[in-house]
Amino acid sequence: MDFDKLIEKFCEMLKTSKFVVALTGAGVSVPSGIPDFRSPNGLYAKYGQDIFEIDEFYKNPDRFYNFAKEGLIPMLSAQPNVVHHMLAKLEKAGMLKGVITQNIDGLHQKAGSKNVAEIHGSVRIWNCLKCTKRYEILDDGQREFLLSTNFRCSCGGLVKPNITFFGEMLPMGEFAKAQKWAESSDLFITLGTSLVVYPAAQLPIYALRNRAKLVIVNKGETPLDRYATFKFDIDLTEFSNKILETLNTFLN
Ligand code: OAD
């Protein structure tokens, strides 16, 4: 089947399904200038696989902070792209229940999505590990302060972003919400994720067990491709533009 036909069929599924859920990964933010993790020019190639290991953080926090200056702080000023906007429009039109995201950049909310489950936390919140002071949605002043003190709080404690490191628990409330959405869905769409990190990659499996249809949009293979009704191995920008064009009359 050619691409246009597949898109049409997928849009029909969107219109006729009752509970549609999206799971997004780092690929969704690549068009906003944020690198993903596992591509050849992704964050792990540059900074090492263990940059998000909690033991590494405690052993050598300044290694993490050097990465954070380049890899996390710029996320705060990034802008959503057409993929985020397409998902926000689907939600507004009642065609999408919510977005479960592994991303920590807050770009779905910036694009206008209301129902977002952030299962790996958020880079907009940082906590002092000593006095528990909370730095929320870092404004320019707080950002400058943390950069100039090398991420030390005014009490001298280390300030850690509220994101899930490997070796830490996921935020339980967010994951429980995500699991409930997955189990209630009749159409589950994954976008820009390699689906190799658990328990996030378990969510499409919960959906499949509930007889939901699975659609995967990702450049490159994923371990769940064989369970997908449709797999779009294309650029997410192209995919999203096509969806917006095809559903034009439903989305405004
Ligand atoms: P990955 O880097 O593992 O996967 C991103 C996927 O997006 C890759 O398969 C890319 O090929 C694809 N991709 C990139 N740009 C794309 C584009 N423009 N169009 C289509 N596809 C594109 O990132 P995640 O699956 O999100 O966890 O990684 C999951 C988790 O692993 C992250 O949340 C993070 C990481 O370790 C934690 O930090 C806890």
Distances (CA, A) of 60 to 41, 91, 122, 145: 24, 42, 22, 21
Peptide bond into 199 cis (omega under 30): yes
Residues 6+ apart with CB under 8 A from 117: 98, 99, 100, 101, 174, 175, 177, 178, 181
Residues of the chain under the 50 pLDDT cut: none
**In this predicted structure, what is the pLDDT of residue 138?**
76
Burial of 107-123, coded b for 16+ CB within 10 Å and e otherwise, reads bbbebebeebbbbbbbb
Distances (CA, A) of 57 to 65, 217, 236: 9, 33, 33
Q: Quote the Cα angle for 106-56-171, to 5°.
A: 40
Q: Hey, whose CA ends up nearest to atom 30 of ligand 1?
A: 197
pLDDT at 140: 83
What is the DSSP code string of 109-158? HHHT--SEEETTEEEEEEEETTT--EEES--HHHHHHHHHTTSB-TTS-B
Report pLDDT for 204: 98
Q: What is the pTM of this model?
A: 0.97
Q: How far is the CA of 245 from the centre of ligand 1 (A)?
A: 25
216 SS3 class: strand
- 35's CB contacts (< 8 A; 6+ apart) are 26, 41, 42, 43, 46, 71
Q: Is 120 a catalytic residue?
A: yes
CA distance to 153, 154, 164, 244, per residue, from 147 (Å):
10, 12, 21, 40
Helices (H), the chain: 3-16, 43-47, 54-59, 61-71, 82-92, 107-111, 140-148, 172-184, 203-209, 236-246, 248-251
Ligand 1 atom 31, closest CA? 197
Q: Is the CB of 102 under 6 A from ligand 1?
A: yes
C-alpha 26 – ligand 1 centre gap (Å)? 4
Here the tokens at position 193 are: 């994720």
- Cα(192) to centroid of ligand 1, in Å? 6
The model's pLDDT over 52-95, given as tens digits with 9 standing for 90+, comes to 999 999 999 999 999 999 899 999 999 999 999 999 999 999 99
Atom of ligand 1 nearest to the CA of 36: 2
What's the rounded Cα separation, in Å, for the pair 116 and 249?
25
CA 148 – CA 101 distance, rounded (Å): 31
Of 37, 52, 169, best ligand 1 pocket probe by most atoms within 8 Å of the beta carbon: 37
